[in-house]
Amino acid sequence: MKKTRIYVAGHQGMVGSALIRQLQQRPEVELVLRSRQELNLNRQQEVEQFFQTENIDQVYLAAAKVGGIHANSTYPADFIYENLMIESNIIHSAWQAGVQHLLFLGSSCIYPKFAKQPMAESELLQGELEATNEPYAIAKIAGIKLCESYNRQYGTQYRSVMPTNLYGFNDNFHPENSHVIPALMRRFHEATVAQEPQVTVWGSGTPLREFLHVDDMAAASIHVMEMADAEYQALVPQTQSHINVGTGVDCSIAQLAQLMAEVVGFQGNIVFDASKPDGTPRKLLDVSRLKSLGWEPQIALPDGLKSTYAWFVDHQRDFRQS
């Protein structure tokens, strides 16, 4: 039996590694992987040559330059250039090599700063973007439109998924540049080890956020990729073809902090510093389209946090100084 050769771009990242964990369990799949040192995705000629020689059947485009607010604000040119180059090179080279199935992984930051809540796919391009990550968001929007344009002109099956806030194994636990779950997890862990009396959390604790375990994200991505073409086309419009991936449920930062304290075993007080910024009051995805495609998340937030914390404890030496 001929195996399906699948290229996962960005396989060493959080989402890419989750995809690898699930795809490598399938005997009919042959994974094709390249590190950054082996294949520079910013270089068109290298990417074209790779696709022309490797006979790829499917592509998961999980490679991207990512970072927090500080990085996005400090290096806007890097974020828009590198992400545009990565997605343009891979999508065009895949088409040139006859690859019919590709999945582009975007971000919920594509939606306007003041989008209606919960945010449906139709909210795309309906208002101003958040200024701090506009270059990154524009690059991700371009990726969606690249997929739509190649589908319209060449009849390919290039699909796009937009995840909510992700967490899980291989997350970035940097003390300053990480997102809210890994940042809180590290803060509560270190406070517990040091037997500190309290942990201070930025903001009022009232903003609402949605969180999805990265293993659920990988499962949803594979589900969308493997849907039969006719079934997919019947359910997803050719324009605005991207699909939100989330839980459809949010919680307050205060609730998250309390849950994190319980998971880590922190016994002290939780204090909220209301002088620090809260950010957007609410960010919740409308996931009705994904449900109509036959997929729902399986990992509840408390269970996901427990497994992530166990991974964090086992691997903390690897990123203690990061």
Cite the annotated binding site by residue number.
Answer: 10-16, 105-108, 140, 163-166, 179, 187, 202, 209, 278
- Which positions ≥6 away from 202 have C-beta within 8 Å? 272, 273, 276, 277
Residue 294: which of 237, 225, 224 has the closest Cα? 224
**What are the E-state strand segments in the chain?**
4-9, 29-32, 58-61, 101-105, 157-163, 165-167, 198-202, 208-209, 211-213, 243-245, 251-252, 269-273, 282-283
In contact, 62 and 105? CB cutoff 8 Å: yes
Place of tokens 């809260």: 278
Question: Amino acid identity of 24?
Answer: Q
Place of tokens 């589908």: 151
Residue 285: which of 128, 164, 189 has the closest Cα? 164
Q: How far is CA 173 from the centre of its chain?
A: 16
The reply to whether omega before 112 is within 30° of 0 (cis) is: no
Residue 94: which of 25, 222, 5 has the closest Cα? 5
Q: What is the DSSP letter of 130?
A: P
Residues in the chain: 322
Which residues carry a binding-site annotation for substrate? 187, 202, 209, 278
In contact, 74 and 251? CB cutoff 8 Å: no
**154 is an active site residue:** no
Residue 217: which of 243, 250, 240, 249 has the closest Cα? 243
Which residues carry a binding-site annotation for NADP(+)? 10-16, 105-108, 140, 163-166, 179
Which residue among 7, 60, 111, 136 is the active-site one? Answer: 136
Give catalytic residue positions.
136
